[in-house]
Every structure is written in structure tokens, then in C-alpha cells.
């Protein structure tokens, strides 16, 4: 249990021999895999590794906001994780290197968004593998990138689960437009919009805030679900949305769920979001998973047997980010060990990706087992009671759902009638208590062995 959360020390001392890019890939993938439903990937992707030594990691970012956000939310986690990998106490430094004005004219370098977060230059249409599950969303995004602002595709709303390519697609539109046109493109995750908005109020800079949004041509808003329950930010979002929409500017919005599930969104805003097409991306089928792995291996010049690629594609079903993480791990391992990778070796290296997914357990299986064990009803678990008799079994459900099923946190939260943060906090509580409370550990073990009889 918990293999995914244990630090991956397969690299041993050799971790420090990896190049900066490989080190950063391993550490960031590890952090993202620990909490795949959060927006860690977005923020971590803003960090450009400049020098990752044994005890000092230096990064740059392009915006002050990004530096502040990352330092506030991720600094200690980053330092702690990096220290475990390098085996030394690591200090992290983040420096702001803003995009240089006029750079393009002198050096013909790529244009960058005037504000907001920078785009990942690998997120292009060429690097996006198209299959059954993402074809429509891809076609719509491609169309918008060729002719932004047309009524038929405005706003474009793309939704789908974690790690299915929404951010890749929305940024591909941005990258294509920055390259082929003169339009001003701005990419902002909703979380970032909130942060900027609150700062603007605090510093009395609302009119500057509004003015700057008024001057953009294409607005890419990622992870809109983050503001659905924040009334004042949603109001301001609506204001910006209307200003841009009414002047024929293009808006693309990504969300982890369809618009009508963005409760408690105001109906007025909901109806605005539904003005344009709503495109869903569903989990990739085996064919697409394999094609993505092949493409990534090819791009990285990684010589890996088709048998191993097929194994990964078969086992990792729900999430493209995990496919990439698994491949990155094998790649880094091979590059420092100079050994031909075999299937059994790959299986062993990938237990933290595939281990817990070998079961087909569902949230419902876990709920039933926990209720049976405590002799309480599922209704109680889903209900409001907070006393220990109900709260603890509920937290055990959260813990076991995360450990034993491949369900995303949003789904666990929905099944238990709880919020996303409540599930994370319940999960963490049990995880911590398991370290000290032997009775609890025994109990959780018993339920687990009933759910996974063949493993015991
Ligand atoms: P989301 O925003 O939906 O959570 P991302 O866009 O961040 O997902 O995608 C996760 C990772 O998977 C990214 O590294 C992205 O490049 C990759 N990815 C997703 N879909 C595809 C695809 N169709 N082809 C190639 N890579 C993909
Ligand atoms: Mg995303």
C-alpha cells in the first residue's frame, strides 16, 4: 500500500548523475503523481531548471506572480522532495526572468503572451496525438487557432478528466497563434485569475487589472472549476468575459467537468458559457495510449521494446500524464544504468504507477467493504454526521479509495458527498494516524485483505 507515495529511490546515488532536465522530470512527475487532481503540473511547468546541483536547485520563471505562487504553495514540498532524491538538504531558488520586450524584432525569437503564465512550447498541435476520444476537441481547437473570434466557436468550452490533454490543447492554440499571427494571446488558469484579482483589489489596482484584460485578442482560461464557487471572482470573470466576447475576441475555457456540473455557477454565466460548442475529451483507448507512448519514445530517441510499450499502454488506462511519467522513469533509469530494459525489470520499476491499478476495484466496492466492517449504512457515510463513529469509517473510505482504486479525487468526493479538499484531508489524516495507531493499521489491513484476497 502507498507505493505511489513512497519516494522512489530506485536511482540511489545515481540520481545526482542525471542531467538537470532528467532530474527535474523525475521530481516534478513524482510530485504530480502524488496529487494528480491538483493544479501542481501547471505551476511546476512554469519552473525552468537552470542549475540543479546536489544541495541547491536554481530555477527561473517568467512572471513575478508565478514565483510568488510557487513559493507560497510549493517551496517546502519541493525542498523536501528534492532533498530526498539527492540525499542532501536542498535549497531552492527561483528567479524572475521576464520575457524581453522587442526581443523578437532583434532575434526573431518566438512571441510570448504579454502577461499571464507562459506557454509550454511542447504543447503544440504537432505533438498532440489524435484518437477517437479527443478528435472533436482537437478539430475545434485547430479551427479556432486558424480563425479566432468567429461566432460559431466562441466561447469554446473543453472539458474532460485529469491528464487527458486539455491544457495541451488550449496551449496549442496559443502557441499556434503566437507563431502565425500578431494577435495578443493570454493564458490564465482560473486559480491564477483569482490570485491576480485579489492582489489588484488589495493594492487598489482594479482599473489597471481590467484595462490590461481589455486589450487582449484571445483569452485562454484553464481549469475554470476553481472559481465556480468564488462569487466575487466569478463576477469579475463574467465582466471580463463579456467585455471580450462583445468585442469579438476569442475565449477558450477548459474545465474538469461539463458546464452544468460547475455548481454553484450563476445561471446567467452558465448560459454564456454555453453560447459556443462544448467539447468533451474522454479517456484514451488502447490504440491512442500506445500511439502516444510510441510518439514520445520516438521524440526522445528512446529505444524501448514494443512489448514494454504495450505493457504500459495496457496497464495505465485513465491518464496520459501517468503514461508519460512511466516512460520518463524508464528512460531515466536506462540512461544511468546502461542495461537493456526487460519486461520484468520494467514491471518492477513501474510498481508505483501500475501496482495499485492492477485491481479493478471501484469506489462502490470500497464503500461496501467499509460499511460491512463497521456495520453502518452507506447513507450514514454519505450523510452529515461528524462524530467519530461515522467520521472515521468515512475517512477510511477516502483513504482506501485513493489507495486501491484508480478513481480521481473528484469522483471519490462526489460518491461520498464531500468536497475535494475534504477528501484530501481525510486521506491525509488516516495516512498519518496509520503511522502511530496500531489498532487502526490492523483494521485497515483487515478491510484491505477482504478487498484484495489474492494478495494476502
Ligand atoms: P489536462 O490539462 O487535461 O489535465 P494535460 O494537457 O496537462 O492534461 O496533459 C497531460 C500530459 O499528457 C501532458 O504532458 C500532455 O502533453 C500529454 N498529452 C495529453 N493528451 C495528449 C495527446 N493526445 N497526445 C500527446 N500528448 C498528450
Ligand atoms: Mg490541465
Listed by start position, the domains of the chain span 1-100, 111-281, 283-358, 363-455
pLDDT at 3: 38
41 in contact with ligand 1, CB cutoff 6 A: yes
Q: pLDDT-derived band of residue 453, with 50, 70 and 90 as boundaries?
A: low
159 in contact with ligand 1, CB cutoff 6 A: no
Q: pLDDT-derived band of residue 106, with 50, 70 and 90 as boundaries?
A: very low
pLDDT at 355: 66
Q: How far apart are the CA of 164 and the centre of ligand 1, in A?
A: 5
Q: How far apart are the CA of 322 and the centre of ligand 1, in A?
A: 10
Cβ contact 260:280 at 8 Å? no
296 in contact with ligand 1, CB cutoff 6 A: no
Q: How are beta strands 56-61 and 48-52 bridged, if at all? A: antiparallel
Residues near 224 by beta carbon (within 8 Å), at least 6 away in sequence: 190, 253, 254, 255, 262
CA distance 87 to 286: 38
pLDDT at 340: 80
Cβ contact 315:354 at 8 Å? yes
What's the CATH fold of domain 283-358?
A: Helicase, Ruva Protein; domain 3 (1.10.8)
- Quick: pLDDT tens for 63-90: 888 898 899 999 999 999 999 888 899 9
Q: What separation in angstroms does the CA of 68 have from each of 29, 37, 63, 192?
A: 21, 22, 9, 11
Q: Report whether pLDDT(265) > 50.
A: yes
Question: Which atom, in ligand 1's list, is nearest to the CA of 138?
Answer: 23
pLDDT at 125: 97
Q: How far apart are the CA of 121 and the centre of ligand 2, in A?
A: 15
> Which residue's C-alpha comes closest to atom 4 of ligand 1?
163
Percent of the chain with pLDDT over 70: 93
Enter the CATH code of domain 1-100: 3.30.300.180
Q: Report whether pLDDT(188) > 70.
A: yes
pLDDT at 104: 47
Q: What separation in angstroms does the CA of 328 have from each of 273, 301, 324, 325, 428?
A: 37, 12, 6, 5, 27
The phi and psi torsions of 188 (rounded to 5 degrees) equal -135, 120
pLDDT at 5: 39
> Which residue's C-alpha comes closest to atom 5 of ligand 1?
165
pLDDT at 274: 86
Q: Lowest mean pLDDT: which of 100-104, 124-128, 158-162, 259-263? A: 100-104
pLDDT at 146: 95
- Quick: pLDDT tens for 338-366: 778 888 888 878 877 776 445 678 999 99
Burial class (CB in 10 A: 0-12, 13-18, 19+), 222: buried
Q: Report whether pLDDT(6) > 50.
A: no
Superfamily of domain 111-281, CATH level 4 = P-loop containing nucleotide triphosphate hydrolases (3.40.50.300)
> Which residue's C-alpha comes closest to atom 11 of ligand 1?
321
Q: Report whether pLDDT(425) > 70.
A: yes
pLDDT at 351: 76
Mean pLDDT of 419-439: 88
Q: pLDDT-derived band of residue 10, with 50, 70 and 90 as boundaries?
A: low
Mean pLDDT of 152-156: 93
Cβ contact 149:176 at 8 Å? no
pLDDT at 389: 92
pLDDT at 456: 32
- Quick: pLDDT tens for 314-327: 989 888 988 998 99
pLDDT at 58: 95
Q: pLDDT-derived band of residue 376, with 50, 70 and 90 as boundaries?
A: very high
| Cell, residue 215 | 486589450
Q: Lowest mean pLDDT: which of 63-77, 99-113, 330-344? A: 99-113
pTM equals 0.72
* pLDDT, the chain, mean: 87
DSSP letter (8 states) at residue 264: T
pLDDT at 455: 40
Q: Lowest mean pLDDT: which of 50-54, 82-86, 335-339? A: 335-339
The phi and psi torsions of 281 (rounded to 5 degrees) equal -115, 125
Start-to-end CA distance of the chain, whole Å, equals: 12
Dump the DSSP string for 372-396. HHHT--HHHHHSS--SHHHHHHHHH
322 in contact with ligand 1, CB cutoff 6 A: no
Half-sphere exposure of 332 (CA within 13 A, CB side): 28
What's the CATH fold of domain 363-455?
A: Chromosomal Replication Initiator Protein Dnaa; Chain: A; (1.10.1750)
Amino acid at each position: 500500500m502507498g507505493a505511489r507515495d513512497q519516494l522512489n529511490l530506485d536511482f540511489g546515488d545515481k540520481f545526482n548523475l542525471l542531467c538537470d532536465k532528467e532530474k527535474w522530470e523525475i521530481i516534478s512527475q513524482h510530485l504530480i503523481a502524488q496529487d494528480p487532481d491538483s493544479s501542481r503540473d501547471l505551476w511546476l511547468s512554469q519552473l525552468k531548471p537552470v542549475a540543479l546541483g546536489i544541495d541547491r536547485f536554481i530555477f527561473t520563471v517568467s512572471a513575478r506572480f508565478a514565483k510568488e505562487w510557487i513559493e507560497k504553495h510549493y517551496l517546502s514540498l519541493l525542498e523536501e522532495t528534492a532533498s530526498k532524491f539527492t540525499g542532501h538538504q536542498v535549497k531552492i531558488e527561483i528567479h524572475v526572468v521576464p520575457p524581453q520586450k522587442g526581443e523578437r524584432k532583434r532575434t526573431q525569437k518566438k512571441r510570448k503572451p504579454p502577461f499571464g503564465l507562459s506557454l509550454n512550447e511542447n504543447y503544440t498541435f504537432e505533438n498532440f496525438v489524435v484518437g477517437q476520444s479527443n478528435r472533436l476537441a482537437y478539430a475545434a481547437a485547430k479551427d479556432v487557432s486558424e480563425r479566432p473570434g468567429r461566432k460559431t466557436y466562441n466561447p469554446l468550452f473543453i472539458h474532460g478528466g485529469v491528464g487527458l490533454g486539455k491544457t495541451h490543447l488550449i496551449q496549442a492554440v496559443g502557441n499556434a497563434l503566437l507563431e502565425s499571427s500578431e494577435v495578443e494571446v493570454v493564458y490564465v488558469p482560473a486559480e491564477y485569475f483569482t490570485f491576480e484579482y485579489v492582489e489588484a483589489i488589495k493594492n487598489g489596482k482594479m482599473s489597471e487589472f481590467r484595462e490590461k484584460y481589455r486589450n487582449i485578442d484571445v483569452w485562454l482560461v484553464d481549469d475554470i472549476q476553481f472559481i465556480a464557487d468564488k462569487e466575487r471572482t466569478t463576477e469579475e470573470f463574467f465582466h471580463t468575459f463579456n467585455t471580450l466576447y462583445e468585442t469579438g475576441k476569442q475565449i477558450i475555457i477548459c474545465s474538469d467537468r461539463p458546464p452544468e456540473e460547475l455548481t454553484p455557477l450563476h445561471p446567467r454565466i452558465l448560459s454564456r458559457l454555453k453560447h459556443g460548442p462544448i467539447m468533451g475529451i474522454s479517456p484514451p483507448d488502447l490504440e491512442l495510449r500506445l500511439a502516444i507512448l510510441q510518439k514520445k519514445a520516438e521524440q526522445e530517441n528512446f529505444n524501448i521494446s514494443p512489448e514494454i510499450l504495450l505493457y504500459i499502454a495496457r496497464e495505465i488506462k485513465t491518464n496520459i500524464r501517468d503514461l508519460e511519467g512511466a516512460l520518463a522513469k524508464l528512460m531515466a533509469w536506462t540512461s544511468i544504468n546502461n542495461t537493456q530494459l526487460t519486461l520484468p525489470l520494467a514491471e518492477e520499476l513501474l510498481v508505483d504507477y501500475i501496482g495499485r491499478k492492477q485491481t479493478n476495484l471501484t469506489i462502490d466496492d470500497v464503500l461496501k467493504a467499509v460499511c460491512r466492517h463497521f456495520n453502518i449504512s452507506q447513507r450514514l457515510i454519505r450523510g452529515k454526521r461528524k462524530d467519530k463513529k461515522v467520521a472515521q469509517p468515512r475517512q477510511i473510505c477516502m483513504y482506501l479509495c485513493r489507495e486501491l482504486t484508480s478513481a480521481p479525487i473528484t469522483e471519490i468526493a462526489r460518491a461520498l458527498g464531500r468536497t475535494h479538499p475534504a477528501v484530501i484531508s481525510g486521506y491525509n489524516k488516516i495516512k498519518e494516524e496509520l503511522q502511530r495507531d496500531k489498532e487502526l493499521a490492523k483494521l485497515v489491513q483487515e478491510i484491505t485483505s477482504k478487498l484484495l484476497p489474492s494478495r494476502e
